[in-house]
Amino acid sequence: MDLLTISLTLGVILLLLLASGLWVALALMVAGLAAIFLMVPVPPGAVMATTVWGAINSWDLAALPMFVWMGEILFRTRLAEDMFAGLAPWMRRLPGRLLHVNILGCAIFAAVSGSSAATTATIGRMSLPELDRRGYDERMAIGSLAGSGTLGLLIPPSIILIVYGAATEQSIARLFIAGIVPGLMLAALFMGYTAVWALFNASRMPDPDPRVPYLQRLWQTRRLFPILALIAGVIGSIYGGFASPTEAAVVGVVLSLLLSWFTGTLDHSTFVEALRNASRTSCMIVLILAGASVLTVAMGYTGIPRALAEFIAGMDLSPYALLAALTLFFVVLGCFLDGISIVVLTASVILPMVEAAGLDIIWFGIYLVLVVEMSQITPPVGFNLFVIQGLTGQNILKVAGMTLPFFLMMIVAVALIVLFPQLALWLPQTMLAR
Amino acid sequence: MRQFLDRVYGLAEWLAMAALCLIALLVFAQVAGRVTDAGLALFGLPPYGFLVPSLAEIAGFLLVAASFLALAGSLRGGVQIRVTLAIGHLPPAARRAFEVAVLALAAAVAGFFFWYAVRLSADSLRFNEVSYGIVAIPLWIPQAAMAAGIGVFTVALLDDLTAALTGREPSYVTAAPDVTAGEEF
Amino acid sequence: QTKWEMPVPYGDTNFHTRNIVQFADDVKAATNGGLEITVHSGGSLFKHPDIKNAVRQGLAQIGEILGSRLSNEDPVYEVDSIPFVATSYDDARKLYAASKETLAAKLQEQGLQLLFSVPWPPQGIYTKKEISSVDDLKGLKMRAYNAATERLAQLAGALPTQVEVPDLPTAFATGRVEAMITSPSTGANSQVWDFLSHYSDAQAWLPRNIVFVNQAAFDALPEDQRNAVIEAAAAAETRGWEASVKETDEKTQVLKDNGIAVSAPSEELKKGLTEIGAQMAAEWAEKAGDEGKAILDAYNN
Ligand code: NA
Ligand code: NA
């Protein structure tokens, strides 16, 4: 069988398994095992055990359950309610009002968390129930959360930029700084879409909050203090030199417990309940990561992504045509693999191509992250979709539909980055000029 | 039997939760050590340099233990993600047949995984594989935790397979997953 | 036609990886395509900590790792990383010759055959201030990633601090770490000038990467192919050592070009470091027992 037939067969097997209701993580494992069994003379079971062990035994990943736990603790406090109440009077006039909290919350949280699943899980745990309670449109609430969860990858720290930096021997400091402007730009695009949507769909917005006199508004703002203290504490622990980004997740847990204790919501049962939920949710995400790692190692053995990338390399395209082809390629690959796997599996073939086309390697890293972070929200394998199905019970296809407008905003962001490379390059060149 | 199985699932979940707490404690101790040093510096005193040896490796091992030991609990809690869009529209009898088939396949994959996870751990023990950081930790220990978690997961799947075969509802269907917004699927 | 998978930990631009890609090409040419080795760079098939196990289990047939990663399994693996024992390429070559047989035997116990070994450039000290004596290291937070580097930091009066490689830029920028020991190669590749300023070319040790093959996979080859592998490996070793020397000059120059203050260690620093080295060598010999003593004796004669 040639690679194309094999790829299609595997894709169909995976879709059938998913459609039949097999758990996502196990479906990924079966597809990976099938690929190894069919194509490579190695024992699939031993490969699976070694690979899953290597994928989950990870310091960076340890931040995930901590952030999920933090979200569970905060969910049981009045933090979200306070935050929304404090923000509401200020956002009355902004079209889309509190829907923007999802986007801003993810953008701020992205400055602490390097992963998009953790960003989505932690922010969503607090914002979705509150938006629901206040009568906001569910489609927009879920779509904006799934979309802005991906900011976790672009705004530093970012696990995927670290992986790219290691594979290409580029400065991680520079990559991190280069991600800031595009990250903020993407957040602005999301907010812009939300505002425009709200203007055209006024009937689907909840009734506006009553107008609040200025002094009372200031008084209400005090309710933002706990969340601001929490954010300052976690970000401050990184930039004050007290914690690495991974360790900052635990600072978040400890501060959340303190907050919960001060506000009287911490007792034995809420503690155990939060911990149990965190353990179950992160177990779900980790098992899917484990399944994805089996599929990834199968792709490494069979060389399918590499061969596809080589096919593109062989077309000898002009830089813009090359970027268009690569974008399509990464989006299709992103439907089945996660972003980090895509970077790892294709770097060897893609980078010489990129260098030959005269593209800046730092710039390409930002472009690449922007493109592969779309994989987080494309079905059938998209981690933000799984996280949101876990949060809301809405199935991933429905969530993907709700996220589609935000996916299109990401395409716009890719186009902007391609047309104006300085969006990514200006800040590192200015800050680290020598 | 029912009570015994539930106790096994419960024990595994408590161990998983304990592993998460341990990660938090170890990391917090390291952060607190740095805060203490900053405090000492304020008084012009030399730093103490408190170090949790092999913190990153130990946290990785604990994460493995936490993640795999939580499997049965998260399955039975209805937290593991699946797509029921297609089979949700089937008539009850056909849906039950699908449920049995999916559970059988899931149990087979989990059992297969369990066998190789046990072999991985036994292999590490035989060849004296250890971690490479400051403290040499035998790898078979966290790998055994991984195998144990998958083992309990396999049992939980077989448990639900039995339920589905005897016409009862599997645990994850009756569990009300703790969703925060939106309708049930 | 036989196909081998070869996981390696470093990226495509790394000089070790380039050497290995050349090795794979040589094998293919010498066997007329009868043996094809696919190099999976940057940990893309198996990650660095899992590569040895994967090859031992036959999940991949051949692989590369940093040898001293195995130091907790047996002290023999870290003989190349005792500070200030073998600090030049000539000495490193001598030490490799003295230890090769023992090293190969240790790998043999796990069903692995040592093919070749190539050193990294000599390790130096990276800091944000000038280091002119061991006293200047006192109280600095120094990166420790295994027992030996922890001990070294302790003996120098520094505070051993654990930082994972990807976290180094942030850790230096925020002051969680203030000194690290690594090669000019790694320093230039991770573009240290973005977060620190001084490099003291202390030439502490020359750690080696080792390339090994699964014994059963090797034995399954026809004799001519086995010979082709051995010959290509010997050529790769020679080529790799030369490339490493060149790498040292080039990457040290890259550090200079990007504004890092590169300095040769002062006599005072050298003296202090040599004392630390002597103590660590003695401690290592005690830990490594008769085998260790035999290696050091063979090296010193
Ligand atoms: Na981030
Ligand atoms: Na996807």
Shortest alpha-carbon distance between residue B83 and chain C (Å): 29
- Cis check for the bond before A95: say yes or no (omega within 30 of 0): no
Residue C146 touches chain B, beta carbons under 8 Å: yes
Shortest alpha-carbon distance between residue B128 and chain C (Å): 7
Q: What is the pLDDT of residues A396-428, one digit of tens each?
A: 999 999 999 999 999 999 999 999 999 999 998
What span, in angstroms and rounded, lies between the C-alpha atoms of C205 and C84?
6
Residue A53 has pLDDT above 60, yes or no: yes
Give, in order, the Cα–Cα distances in Å from A283 to each of A90, A390, B17, B20, B150.
38, 12, 11, 11, 12
Tell me whether residues A176 and C176 touch, CB distance under 8 A: no
pLDDT of residue A219: 87
Please classify residue A199 by burial: count the beta carbons closer than 10 Å to its beta carbon, then call 0-12 exposed, 13-18 middle and 19+ buried.
exposed
The closest of C127, C158, C145 to C69, measured between CA atoms, is C145
Helix C223-257 × helix C89-108 angle, to 10°: 140
What span, in angstroms and rounded, lies between the C-alpha atoms of A82 and A80?
5
Tokens representing residue C195 in the block: 């977060």
Q: What is the pLDDT of residues A142-201, one digit of tens each?
A: 999 999 999 989 999 998 998 899 888 888 889 999 999 999 999 999 999 999 999 999
Tell me whether residues A20 and B67 touch, CB distance under 8 A: no
CB-based contact C136:C130 (threshold 8 Å): yes
Tell me whether residues C13 and A168 touch, CB distance under 8 A: yes
Tokens representing residue B165 in the block: 């075969």
Query: Of the bound ligands, which one is closest to the alpha carbon of residue A249?
Result: 1
By three-state DSSP, how is residue C88 classified? Answer: coil
CB-based contact A273:A76 (threshold 8 Å): yes
Count CA within 13 A, CB hemisphere, residue C80. 30
Tell me whether residues B79 and A24 touch, CB distance under 8 A: no
What span, in angstroms and rounded, lies between the C-alpha atoms of A177 and A154?
10
The closest of C116, C98, C112 to C292, measured between CA atoms, is C98
pLDDT of residue B179: 57
Task: Report the chain A residue with the minimal C-alpha distance to residue B149.
Answer: A283
10-residue mean pLDDT series, chain C (301 residues): 96 95 98 96 94 96 97 95 93 96 96 98 95 92 94 95 91 94 93 94 95 98 97 98 97 96 92 93 93 92 82
By three-state DSSP, how is residue C262 classified? Answer: strand
pLDDT of residue B182: 42
| Structure-token match 């070749």, residue found | C116
Shortest alpha-carbon distance between residue C161 and chain B (Å): 7
**pLDDT confidence tier of residue A1, bands split at 50, 70 and 90:** low
User: Ligand 1 center to residue A292 CA distance, Å?
Assistant: 21
Please classify residue A361 by burial: count the beta carbons closer than 10 Å to its beta carbon, then call 0-12 exposed, 13-18 middle and 19+ buried.
middle
Query: Of the bound ligands, which one is closest to the alpha carbon of residue A161?
Result: 1
Q: What is the pLDDT of residues A76-125, one digit of tens each?
A: 998 888 888 888 888 888 999 999 999 999 999 998 888 899 999 999 99
Please check whether residue B166 lies inside any domain of the structure. Answer: yes
Residue C38 with chain A: CB contacts under 8 Å: 303
User: Ligand 2 center to residue A380 CA distance, Å?
Assistant: 6
| Structure-token match 């998983």, residue found | B16
pLDDT of residue A260: 94
Tokens representing residue A93 in the block: 């006039």
What span, in angstroms and rounded, lies between the C-alpha atoms of A58 and C8?
19
Task: Report the chain C residue with the minimal C-alpha distance to residue B135.
Answer: C147
Task: Report the chain A residue with the minimal C-alpha distance to residue C2.
Answer: A41
* Conformation bin of residue C58: beta by default, left when phi > 0, alpha when psi is -120 to 50: left
- Cis check for the bond before A380: say yes or no (omega within 30 of 0): yes
User: Ligand 1 center to residue C170 CA distance, Å?
Assistant: 13
Interface A-B, measured as beta-carbon pairs within 8 A, has a size of 225
Please check whether residue B84 lies inside any domain of the structure. Answer: yes
CB-based contact B60:A59 (threshold 8 Å): yes
Sign of CA dihedral A117, A118, A120, A126: positive
Domain that holds residue B75: 2-175
Q: What are phi and psi of B85, to 5 degrees?
A: -60, -50
Chains that touch A (3 or more CB pairs under 8 A): B, C
Shortest alpha-carbon distance between residue B167 and chain A (Å): 18
Q: What is the pLDDT of residues A297-325, one digit of tens each?
A: 999 999 999 998 998 988 889 999 999 99
pTM for the model: 0.95
Please check whether residue B180 lies inside any domain of the structure. Answer: no
Q: What is the pLDDT of residues C103-120, one digit of tens each?
A: 999 999 999 999 999 999
Tell me whether residues C38 and A171 touch, CB distance under 8 A: no
Shortest alpha-carbon distance between residue A25 and chain B (Å): 8
User: Ligand 1 center to residue A112 CA distance, Å?
Assistant: 6
Sign of CA dihedral C243, C244, C249, C253: positive
Contacts of B82 (CB under 8 A, 6+ apart): A21, A22, A23, A24
The residues in C 62-121 lying below 8 A from B, measured between CB atoms, are 69-73, 110
10-residue mean pLDDT series, chain B (185 residues): 95 98 98 96 92 95 98 95 85 91 97 98 95 96 98 98 93 72 39
Shortest alpha-carbon distance between residue A391 and chain B (Å): 5
The residues in A 353-412 lying below 8 A from B, measured between CB atoms, are 380, 386, 389-397
B176 alpha-carbon distance from chain centroid: 20
Q: What is the pLDDT of residues C247-281, one digit of tens each?
A: 999 999 999 999 999 999 889 999 999 999 999 99
CB-based contact A322:A100 (threshold 8 Å): no
Vertex C287: Cα angle to C284 and C289 (nearest 5) = 105
What span, in angstroms and rounded, lies between the C-alpha atoms of A2 and B104?
31
CB-based contact C295:C79 (threshold 8 Å): yes
pLDDT of residue B185: 31
Q: What residue type is C205 in one-letter code?
A: W
Across the range A349-369, mean pLDDT stands at: 92
pLDDT of residue A87: 87
pLDDT of residue B183: 40
What's the number of domains chain B is made of? 1
Buried b (16+ CB within 10 A) or exposed e, A128-158: bbbbbebebbbbbbbbbbbbbbbbbbbbbbb
Q: What is the pLDDT of residues A198-244, one digit of tens each?
A: 999 999 999 887 788 888 888 888 888 988 899 899 999 999 999 99
Residue A287 touches chain B, beta carbons under 8 Å: yes
What span, in angstroms and rounded, lies between the C-alpha atoms of C256 and C250?
10
CB-based contact A304:A42 (threshold 8 Å): no
* Of the partner residues C53, C69, C139, the one whose CB lies closest to the CB of residue B47: C139
Residue C175 with chain A: CB contacts under 8 Å: 241
Please classify residue A215 by burial: count the beta carbons closer than 10 Å to its beta carbon, then call 0-12 exposed, 13-18 middle and 19+ buried.
exposed
Residue A277 with chain B: CB contacts under 8 Å: 178
Tell me whether residues C110 and B127 touch, CB distance under 8 A: yes
Residue B60 with chain C: CB contacts under 8 Å: none
The closest of A289, A340, A44, B129 to C65, measured between CA atoms, is B129
Task: Report the chain A residue with the minimal C-alpha distance to residue C163.
Answer: A244
Residue C139 with chain B: CB contacts under 8 Å: 46-47
User: Ligand 1 center to residue A256 CA distance, Å?
Assistant: 20
Residue B138 touches chain A, beta carbons under 8 Å: no
* Of the partner residues B53, B55, B129, the one whose CB lies closest to the CB of residue C53: B129
